[in-house]
């Protein structure tokens, strides 16, 4: 019995063995795993790859349905189909339209759903979300950069939870947040949105959407060729290294993002290499390395494998019935073992491709670490990390841009220098067909670019701007054109041209210190030189001054006449002897005709006459030299600086003469001083002298270059004159704007003085020195500005090029270049010799008026002399006739009184005193008398003879 008893095992041991055998057979060796993936998705390929890599027991067997994850009907059918097939867990994708449906099924049926899709805030523990949440890391980054005003662009699939957190925080902290739903935007709408952001200076942007959508957005931004130096983008995505930054990086943006997968980890590199080699014989194109969503899928499979291995080790029965039941049953029939699988999945702790994997009670990732990345010109680099314990930790070290310029050897590449054909800045050589490259060009900017490249030490290629414009922003599209646009959109590295430094340009590109200072000026067609007039000698004084002088001359003469009449000191008395001497010229001492009584009593008449003469001698006669004509003569003599033979004797008269002499001294001196300049200087009469002259007239049109800084100056100016000018230019028909400076100059020359062109003073001065030398600059500069060398925002060339320009300025190289291309090669003479007013010798036309006045004066004198002669002759003729008549009457009366004897005596010419008196008054000789009185004299003699 002892032998049998010793040979048979005890009962407890048999029971234990039986339990072990039963337990080992209760856990299945193959675990059916469901899969719900979009057709051709990267996650499905990685799901296959991960299952192939998992070789441990129990083996996961896939039951995959390729389904449209956005269709609720398709997802419901696929989920129920897999549930009826008895899958233990499902792995797959969802979007915002199907996530709620999946969560409802998982919660009702106790089926675990493991997903790499975007995380959703829920308390459903049957949904395990492999992707970490981004709310906390993103808020930590916003705090680090001190963002209080930004734009949040999101997709409805993944960004709603982040949007809610941002809006709540913005309300608490008074942030200014602009939200944009990318799902509602078309490509044209997004491009317009970019232009609006640029216009409103919204330079801080958060992009939150899935990887594929983000790649298309970045490519669309890069296609706009905008300079993104002012922009700072935060990409709310966990795959920073999965983006294609090739074109986007050329625009020099500031980009910050998150990276979940540590690609420098050895395990990650090993899995990635296996992925590249997996099932690659049938692939037409080589695989790309694992994306972060693929890494999440791979880790999800590993989590499921680990969970089922743990369940197998724990001997937990998870076997399912042959008939799983209907998922749409009402009420639902949950799977009893589903809660065990959910706990096993939730308790997994492991290190995967996405770092430490751990879940909280809601099925969300916890205790994870994210790398914070930044896009540099050399590529992405890590600048810090974030975890739940420490928050954001910055680990970046920055180097100056100038050091990076030399460290990375960027100076060894060939830079594109954009420029524009504009004489004398950049011109094609006359035989440019024989040259290639930079040798085809010449001019101020061509030599300036060469000098800058020599000082900085880089090679360059000159490239003409495509649209031939300097650069302005379109009001509708908000896009830049011209050279500024080429810098903004990355088509060129430097702009060496007459590019004006303005505020709006400085906001999108960088300028060096000005290499030339200038201002807006007015160009008009040079007016023809005014021919000197006949009376050009009157030009030194204005016509109103000449009129005032004439009135002053007349007024002074009249005042002098009146003063002389009133003042007793201007009257002087004269004796009769003196009067007798002037008898021939005095009408008051003429011999009066004899009366009848005198003729009757000759002796009595002679006695009375003697008494009258004696009385005249005793009474002196008073005279005044300053009659009206003498006063005019005195004033004229003083004005002509010649003097006069009479002068005032009274104090009042001398005061008048003194002030008149002082007046004439100043007037004549001023006239003489200006006369030389006016007669020896050729003057051009310009219709326009300033901007005010342009603004207040409409006969002469005026305009600017279309799409340049001059047009922008008038458009933005708040000065009344310039606002008025801009209002005219904007509404003028035909348009007063020109496409190029050459067109503007040509329009000035062809308009015959009816068009004025507003352009930079330096160009105005240059064109003035070009043949046919028919333009001129008028007035001063309307503003003050400068030309600068431009580079894109953040370009490593900015600092060395700026230093080169300053050095060239200090060495006077810039002044030498300007003199060389402006004046040394000028075609209208040097700037000092080509003045608008040129001194020359006097010509006959300058003084012709003087000769005309001389000839006119001589002719007037002859005419006046003839008039005086005729007038005097007529007076003398009348007097002689009276004398003859008186003599004849005296003779006849005397003969009647004495009888015939007396008559005989009278006939012999010895009629006593009467004959002598009468003979005394006759002219002594008919030949010496007036020619017009010869007939009268003859008559007189014959009467006497009678």
Is the CB of residue 26 less than 8 Å from the CB of residue 319?
A: yes
Instruction: Give the closest residue to 494 by CA, choosing from 418, 406, 405.
Output: 418
Q: What's the confidence (pLDDT) of residue 357? A: 93
Look up residue 394 and give its DSSP letter: E
Nearest to 763 by CA among 446, 516, 511, 527: 516
How far is 335 from 639, CA to CA, in rounded Å? 132
Contact 130, 179 (CB under 8 A): no
- What is the pLDDT confidence band of residue 354, given thresholds at 50, 70 and 90? very high
Beta bridge partners of 525: 775
- Measured distance CA(937)–CA(884) in Å, rounded: 8
| DSSP 8-state code for residue 500 | B
Read off the pLDDT of residues 210-268 as tens digits, 9 standing for 90 and up.
888 888 888 888 888 776 777 899 999 999 998 888 888 877 788 999 999 998 899 99
Give CA separation, 163 vs 154, 189, 195, in Å: 8, 21, 23
Reduced to 3 states (helix: H, G, I; strand: E, B; else coil), residue 176 is: strand
- Do 725 and 695 meet the contact criterion of CB atoms below 8 Å apart? yes
Structure tokens at 435: 């040259």
Which range among 454-458, 527-531, 890-894 shows the weakest confidence by mean pLDDT?
A: 527-531
Percent of the chain with pLDDT over 90: 25
Give the distance, in angstroms, between the CA of residue 247 and the centroid of all CA atoms in the same chain. Answer: 31
pLDDT confidence band for 482 (50 / 70 / 90): very high
Residue 199's pLDDT band (boundaries 50, 70, 90)? confident
CA distance 268 to 273: 8
Cβ proximity of 70 and 97 under 8 Å: yes
The residues that bridge with 258 in the sheet, in sequence order, are 372
Phi, psi dihedrals of residue 35, rounded to the nearest 5°: -140, 130
Average pLDDT over residues 641-645: 78
Sign of CA dihedral 776, 782, 785, 790: negative
Per DSSP, the three-state class of 165 is: helix
Residues 6 or more apart whose Cβ sits within 8 Å of residue 245: 218, 255, 375, 379, 380
Structure tokens at 540: 């030194």
Distance from C-alpha of 732 to C-alpha of 755, rounded to nearest angstrom: 12
pLDDT band per the 50, 70, 90 thresholds, residue 504: confident
Residues 511-520 have pLDDT tens digits of 999 999 988 9
Q: How confident is the model at residue 38 (pLDDT cuts 50, 70, 90)?
A: very high
Alpha-carbon span 388 to 355, nearest angstrom: 14
Three-state SS for 124?
A: coil
CA distances from 195 to 153, 199, 244, 475, 483 (A): 15, 6, 23, 10, 18
Residue 34, H or E segment: strand 30-37
Q: What pLDDT, on a 0 to 100 scale, did the predictor assign at position 26?
A: 61
- Mutual angle of helices 798-810 and 444-456, in 10-degree steps: 110
Tokens representing 523? 């160009």
Query: For residues 228 and 214, what is the distance between their CA atoms, to the nearest angstrom?
Result: 17
Whole-angstrom CA distances from 465 to 48, 236, 321, 484, 900 are 53, 38, 76, 10, 134
In degrees, rounded to 5, the angle at the alpha carbon of residue 119 between the alpha carbons of residues 118 and 124 is 135
Residue range 775-804: mean pLDDT, rounded? 89
- Using CA atoms of 773, 778, 782, 787 in order, give the dihedral in degrees to the nearest 10: 20
| Range list of H helices, 54-128 | 72-84, 99-109
Q: Identify any residues that bridge with 151 across adjacent strands, giving them in sequence order.
A: 178, 205
CA 792 – CA 251 distance, rounded (Å): 9
* Lowest pLDDT segment from 397-401, 444-448, 723-727: 397-401
Query: Which pLDDT tens digit goes with each residue over 796-815?
Result: 888 999 999 999 999 999 99
Region 485-513: mean pLDDT is 89
- From the number of C-beta atoms within 10 Å of its C-beta (0-12, 13-18, 19+), residue 519 rates as middle
pTM for the model: 0.53
Q: What is the enclosing helix (H) or strand (E) of 522?
A: strand 520-525
* pLDDT reading at 599 higher than 50: no
Residue 9 has a CB neighbour count (10 Å cut-off) of: 9
Q: Residues 48, 52, 53, 55: is their CA dihedral positive or negative?
A: positive
Q: What's CA 287's distance to the chain center, in Å?
A: 53
What is the distance between the alpha carbons of residues 173 and 580, in angstroms, rounded to a whole number? Answer: 124
Residue 441, Cβ neighbours under 10 Å: how many? Answer: 22
**Rounded-to-integer distance, Cα 777 and Cα 763, Å:** 10
318 pLDDT band (50/70/90 cuts)?
A: confident
Tabulate helix, strand, coil % of the chain (nearest 5).
Answer: 50, 15, 35
Question: Is the separation of the CB atoms in 390 and 380 below 8 Å?
Answer: no
Nearest CA among 141, 115, 146, 379 for reference residue 258: 141
Which of 87, 89, 93 shows the shortest CA–CA distance to 70? 93
Most confident region among 367-371, 825-829, 903-907 by mean pLDDT: 367-371
pLDDT recorded at residue 611: 56
Backbone angles phi, psi at 403, to 5 degrees: -65, -40
Residue 801 to residue 511: CA distance in whole angstroms = 10
């Amino acid at each position: 019995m002892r032998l049998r008893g010793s040979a048979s095992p005890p009962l407890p041991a048999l029971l234990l063995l039986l339990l072990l055998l039963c337990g080992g057979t209760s856990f299945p060796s193959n675990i059916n795993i469901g899969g719900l993936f979009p057709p051709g998705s990267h996650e499905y390929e990685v799901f296959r790859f991960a299952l192939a890599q998992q070789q441990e027991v129990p083996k996961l067997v896939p039951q995959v349905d390729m389904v449209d994850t956005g269709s609720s009907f398709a997802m419901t059918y696929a989920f129920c189909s897999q549930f009826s097939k008895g899958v233990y867990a499902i792995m797959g994708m969802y979007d915002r339209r199907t996530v709620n449906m999946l969560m409802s099924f998982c919660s009702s049926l106790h089926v675990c759903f493991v997903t790499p899709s975007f995380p959703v805030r829920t308390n459903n523990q049957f949904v395990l979300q492999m992707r970490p949440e981004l709310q906390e890391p993103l808020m930590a980054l916003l705090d680090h950069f001190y963002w209080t005003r930004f734009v949040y662009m999101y997709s409805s699939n993944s960004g709603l939870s982040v949007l809610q957190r941002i809006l709540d925080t913005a309300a608490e902290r008074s942030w200014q947040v602009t939200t944009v739903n990318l799902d509602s935007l078309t490509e044209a709408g997004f491009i317009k949105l970019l232009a609006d952001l640029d216009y409103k200076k919204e330079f801080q942007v958060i992009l939150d959407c899935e990887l594929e959508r983000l790649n298309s957005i970045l490519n669309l931004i890069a296609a706009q060729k905008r300079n993104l130096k002012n922009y700072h983008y935060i990409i709310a995505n966990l795959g920073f290294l999965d983006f294609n930054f090739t074109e986007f990086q050329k625009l020099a943006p500031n980009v910050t993002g998150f990276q979940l997968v540590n690609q420098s980890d050895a395990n990650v590199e090993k899995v990635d290499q296996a992925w590249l080699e997996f099932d690659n014989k049938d692939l037409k194109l080589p695989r790309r390395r694992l994306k972060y969503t693929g890494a999440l899928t791979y880790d999800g499979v590993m989590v499921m494998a680990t969970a089922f291995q743990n369940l197998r080790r724990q001997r937990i029965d998870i076997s399912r019935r042959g008939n799983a039941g209907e998922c749409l049953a009402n009420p639902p029939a949950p799977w009893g073992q589903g809660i065990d699988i959910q706990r096993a999945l939730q308790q997994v702790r492991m290190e995967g491709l996405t770092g430490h994997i751990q879940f909280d009670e809601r099925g969300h990732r916890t205790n994870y670490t994210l790398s914070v990345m930044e896009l540099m010109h050399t590529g992405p680099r890590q600048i810090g990390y974030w975890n739940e314990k420490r928050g954001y930790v910055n680990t970046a070290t920055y180097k100056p841009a100038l050091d990076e310029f030399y460290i990375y050897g960027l100076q060894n590449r060939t830079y594109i220098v954009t420029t524009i054909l504009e004489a004398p800045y950049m011109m094609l050589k006359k035989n440019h067909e024989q040259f290639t490259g930079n040798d085809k060009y010449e001019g101020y900017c061509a030599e300036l670019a060469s000098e800058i490249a020599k000082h900085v030490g880089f090679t360059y290629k000159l490239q003409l701007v495509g649209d031939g414009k300097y650069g302005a922003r379109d009001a509708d599209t908000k896009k830049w054109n011209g050279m500024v646009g080429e810098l903004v959109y990355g088509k060129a590295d430097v702009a060496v041209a007459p590019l004006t430094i303005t505020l709006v340009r400085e906001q999108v590109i960088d300028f060096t210190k000005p290499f030339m200072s200038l201002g807006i000026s007015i160009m008009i067609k040079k007016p023809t030189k005014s021919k000197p007039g006949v009376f050009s000698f009157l030009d030194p004084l204005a016509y109103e001054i000449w009129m005032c002088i004439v009135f002053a001359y007349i007024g002074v003469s009249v005042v002098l006449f009146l003063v002389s009449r009133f003042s007793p000191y201007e009257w002087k008395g004269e004796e009769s002897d003196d009067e007798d001497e002037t008898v021939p010229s005095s009408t008051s001492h003429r011999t009066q005709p004899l009366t009848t009584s005198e003729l009757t009593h000759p002796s009595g008449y002679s006695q009375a006459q003697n008494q009258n003469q004696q009385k005249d001698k005793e009474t002196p006669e008073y005279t005044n030299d300053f009659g009206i004509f003498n006063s005019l003569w005195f004033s004229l003599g003083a004005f002509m600086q010649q003097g006069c033979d009479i002068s005032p004797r009274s104090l009042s008269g001398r005061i008048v003469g003194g002030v008149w002499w002082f007046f004439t001294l100043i007037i004549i001196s001023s006239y003489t001083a200006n006369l030389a300049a006016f007669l020896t200087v050729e003057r051009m009469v310009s219709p326009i002298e300033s901007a005010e002259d342009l603004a207040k007239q409409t006969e002469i049109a005026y305009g600017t270059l279309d799409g340049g800084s001059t047009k922008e100056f008038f458009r933005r100016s708040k000065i009344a004159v310039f606002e008025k000018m801009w209002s005219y230019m904007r509404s003028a028909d035909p348009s007063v704007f020109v496409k190029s400076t050459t067109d503007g100059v040509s329009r000035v020359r062809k308009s015959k003085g009816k068009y004025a062109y507003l352009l930079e003073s330096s160009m105005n001065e240059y064109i003035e020195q070009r043949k046919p030398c028919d333009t001129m600059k008028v007035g001063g500069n309307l503003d003050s500005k400068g030309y600068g060398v431009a580079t894109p925002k953040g370009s490593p060339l900015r600092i060395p090029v700026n230093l080169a320009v300053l050095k060239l300025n200090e060495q006077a190289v810039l002044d030498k270049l300007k003199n060389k291309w402006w004046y040394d090669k000028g075609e209208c003479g040097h700037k000092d010799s080509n003045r608008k007013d040129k001194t020359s010798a006097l010509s006959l036309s300058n003084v012709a008026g003087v000769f005309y006045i001389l000839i006119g004066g001589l002719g007037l004198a002859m005419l006046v002399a003839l008039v005086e002669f005729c007038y005097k002759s007529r007076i003398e003729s009348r007097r002689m006739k009276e004398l003859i008549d008186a003599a004849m009457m005296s003779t006849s009366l005397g003969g009647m009184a004495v009888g015939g004897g007396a008559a005989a005596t009278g006939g012999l010419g010895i009629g006593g005193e009467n004959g002598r008196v009468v003979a005394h008054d006759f002219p002594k000789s008919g030949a010496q008398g007036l020619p017009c009185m010869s007939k009268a004299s003859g008559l007189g003699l014959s009467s006497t003879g009678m």
